[in-house]
Amino acid sequence: MYLYNSLTRTKEEFIPNEAGKVSMYTCGPTVYHYAHIGNLRSYIMEDVLEKYLRFAGYEVTRVMNITDVGHLTSDADTGEDKMLKGAKREKKTVLEIAKFYTDAFFEDCKKLNIKTPDVVAPATTCIDEFIRVIEGLLEKGYAYEAGGNIYFDTAKLKQYYVFNDFKEEDLEVGVREGVEADHNKRNKADFVLWFTKSKFDDQELKWESPWGIGYPGWHIECSCISMKHLGEKLDIHCGGIDNAFPHHTNEIAQSEAYLGHKWCNFWFHVHHLNTNSGKMSKSSGEFLTVSLLESKGYDPLTYRLFCLQSHYRKSLVFSYENLDNAATAYKKLVTRIAALQKESAGELDETAFAAHKAAFCQALDNDMNTSLAVTALYDVLKAKITPATKLALINDFDRVLGLSLTAAAERLNQTETEEATAVSDDPFLREIEEQIERRKQAKKDKNYALADEIRNALAAKGVTLIDTPQGTKYQIEG
């Protein structure tokens, strides 16, 4: 499998540290609000990556943090704690807010068939770990205390900007929005590992530490939670592209300084979901949620298909028109599969199965080309192979695509059966069906007078017949 690695800016063959096993870390949500569908684009594409690795035979261990403390409204260690801001907005405690939005996040994930990672760790449950690593960084001379806070000293590194070509001037106050001068910092790029004295006196969650009562910075949590559960060498670290700098840059700085060796091999960054008016953001402006899409009648899985139809390394523009297209495509897929389920299955053709599976894997092996993988699914539906082979392939591919295709098709067939049963149980509906059949025969016999008579007789009973290309339908008055 070839994956684009943001660290080397090339597509590289994916080789894990330990044969057959993959350790994978994902930056989890900051739980001060609902996740928007942009956040969920990242989690959908990361879920496909995880599922494909498992599909390819790897034993995957995936860990995710929940940011319930320390993520400030500005990336430059200034501004308010996002959690505290959320709590004030809703007049709740920070922990109440965290619990509510963590649950809401996993509800959304469930609706989108996003698997819950093997380990989910809220930052507030790992404080001892953060303190231990910060102590280590101080001992090794990579961190310093100033004005009560503990900072990471970026000047101690050979290379700090690992992902992009940021220059120190880019961090000049006034150049980046929301950056305020922090005179405690030795270098502009330094960042806080632990806050004790800060302007946020109303910080609700604080812990004892060797440096006084305080709370952790945002970046340290991901390094520590990853190292705690996945050890000193990580195979893949995921997140949205906005996290590459400063969050992931700082994670690499502190983890490698602490460990004394390379930490993570592959950096998998999902590009943004935008609207026509710009990036969708949780902390500013209006944003779209899964519940909102549901309230407008969309099955959340149509949003998943919408995401799969584009490459994760391209930014994606959301519009209802585009979502409508995905909804139509999803409905058509399910209808075609439902029809297949009703056909006589025939034998499984092993050779055809292997050939189609190879095409599907080839798409995903090439830096997770999910849109080509979806095309491979359409190719299965079009192919001249037995329904048994098609259904087996669809089930197999859906282990990765996560579109619940077989289940949705079964539900569709079941609804049709129930509707048919309802008709046969109701004498009035049965009568209508019988008359429609009689009228069909009359038209076949060119006995249009009888056909009209039947139509009129039904109309007198409040039943209007509508002839459509799919046959005659009816509407009952009232």
Q: Which residues bind Zn ion (CB under 5 A)?
A: 27, 222
310 binds ligand AMP (CB under 6 A): no
Q: Are 138 and 193 in contact (CB under 8 A)?
A: no
27 binds ligand AMP (CB under 6 A): yes
Determine the interface stretch with ligand AMP among 13-21, 27-35, 91-99, 406-414 (rule: CB under 6 A).
Answer: 27-35
What residue 39 binds from ligand AMP, Zn ion, none (CB within 5 to 8 A, per partner kind)?
ligand AMP
Q: Which two tokens mark 445?
A: 């016999």
CA distances from 21 to 61, 224, 358, 368 (A): 8, 21, 22, 19
Closer Cβ to ligand AMP, 272 or 455, answer by number = 272
What residue 222 binds from Zn ion, ligand AMP, none (CB within 5 to 8 A, per partner kind)?
Zn ion
CB atoms within 10 A of CB 361: 18
* Beta strand 215-216 pairing with 10-13: unpaired
What residue 240 binds from ligand AMP, Zn ion, none (CB within 5 to 8 A, per partner kind)?
ligand AMP
Closer Cβ to Zn ion, 67 or 113, answer by number = 67
242 binds ligand AMP (CB under 6 A): yes
Determine the interface stretch with ligand AMP among 278-286, 336-344, 359-367, 443-451 (rule: CB under 6 A).
Answer: 278-286
311 binds ligand AMP (CB under 6 A): no
Question: Rounded to an integer, what distance in angstroms lies between the CA atom of residue 104 and that of residue 95?
Answer: 14
Size of the site for ligand AMP (CB under 6 A): 18
In whole angstroms, how close is the CB of 245 to Zn ion at the nearest point? 12
29 binds ligand AMP (CB under 6 A): yes
Name the residue with the smallest CB distance to ligand AMP. 240
250 binds ligand AMP (CB under 6 A): no
User: Which residues, 257 to 276, sit near ligand AMP by CB under 6 A?
Assistant: 270, 272-273
What residue 143 binds from ligand AMP, Zn ion, none (CB within 5 to 8 A, per partner kind)?
none
In whole angstroms, how close is the CB of 2 to Zn ion at the nearest point? 25
Question: Rounded to an integer, what distance in angstroms lies between the CA atom of residue 400 and that of residue 142?
Answer: 42
Q: Which two tokens mark 183?
A: 């005179």
Residue from 70, 86, 216, 240 in contact with ligand AMP (CB under 6 A): 240
Return all residues near 229 (Cβ < 8 A) that are at least 6 apart. Answer: 61, 63, 119, 121
What residue 272 binds from Zn ion, ligand AMP, none (CB within 5 to 8 A, per partner kind)?
ligand AMP
280 binds ligand AMP (CB under 6 A): yes
In whole angstroms, how close is the CB of 222 to Zn ion at the nearest point? 3
Q: Are 332 and 322 in contact (CB under 8 A)?
A: no
Question: Rounded to an integer, what distance in angstroms lies between the CA atom of residue 55 and that of residue 70?
Answer: 36
Determine whether 360 is exposed, middle or buried from the number of CB atoms within 10 Å of its CB (0-12, 13-18, 19+).
buried
Handedness of CA 126, 132, 133, 134 (dihedral sign): positive
Residue from 239, 246, 300, 402 in contact with ligand AMP (CB under 6 A): 239
Q: Which two tokens mark 232?
A: 């000193």
Determine whether 100 is exposed, middle or buried from the number of CB atoms within 10 Å of its CB (0-12, 13-18, 19+).
middle
Closer Cβ to ligand AMP, 101 or 397, answer by number = 101
243 binds ligand AMP (CB under 6 A): yes
For residue 387, say if its preceding peptide bond is cis, omega within 30 degrees of 0. no
In whole angstroms, how close is the CB of 2 to ligand AMP at the nearest point? 22
Question: Rounded to an integer, what distance in angstroms lies between the CA atom of residue 22 and that of residue 16?
Answer: 6
In whole angstroms, how close is the CB of 306 to Zn ion at the nearest point? 26
User: Which residues, 35 to 54, sit near ligand AMP by CB under 6 A?
Assistant: 38-39, 41-42
In whole angstroms, how close is the CB of 62 to Zn ion at the nearest point? 14
Residue found under tokens 């460990």 = 259
What residue 38 binds from Zn ion, ligand AMP, none (CB within 5 to 8 A, per partner kind)?
ligand AMP
Return left, alpha or beta for 241; rule: phi > 0 is left, psi -120 to 50 is alpha, else beta: alpha
In whole angstroms, how close is the CB of 167 to Zn ion at the nearest point? 24
282 binds ligand AMP (CB under 6 A): yes
Question: Rounded to an integer, what distance in angstroms lies between the CA atom of residue 239 and that of residue 163?
Answer: 13
User: Which residues, 64 to 83, sit near ligand AMP by CB under 6 A?
Assistant: 67
62 binds ligand AMP (CB under 6 A): no
Question: Rounded to an integer, what distance in angstroms lies between the CA atom of residue 312 and that of residue 297?
Answer: 26
Closer Cβ to ligand AMP, 280 or 308, answer by number = 280
Handedness of CA 366, 372, 374, 380 (dihedral sign): negative
In whole angstroms, how close is the CB of 323 to Zn ion at the nearest point? 29
Q: Are 226 and 25 in contact (CB under 8 A)?
A: yes
Question: Rounded to an integer, what distance in angstroms lies between the CA atom of residue 353 and that of residue 364?
Answer: 17
DSSP state of 276: T
In whole angstroms, how close is the CB of 459 to ligand AMP at the nearest point? 54
Determine whether 282 is exposed, middle or buried from the number of CB atoms within 10 Å of its CB (0-12, 13-18, 19+).
middle
Q: Are 2 and 365 in contact (CB under 8 A)?
A: yes
In whole angstroms, how close is the CB of 117 to ligand AMP at the nearest point? 13
Residues in contact with ligand AMP by CB under 6 A are 27, 29-30, 38-39, 41-42, 67, 239-240, 242-243, 270, 272-273, 279-280, 282
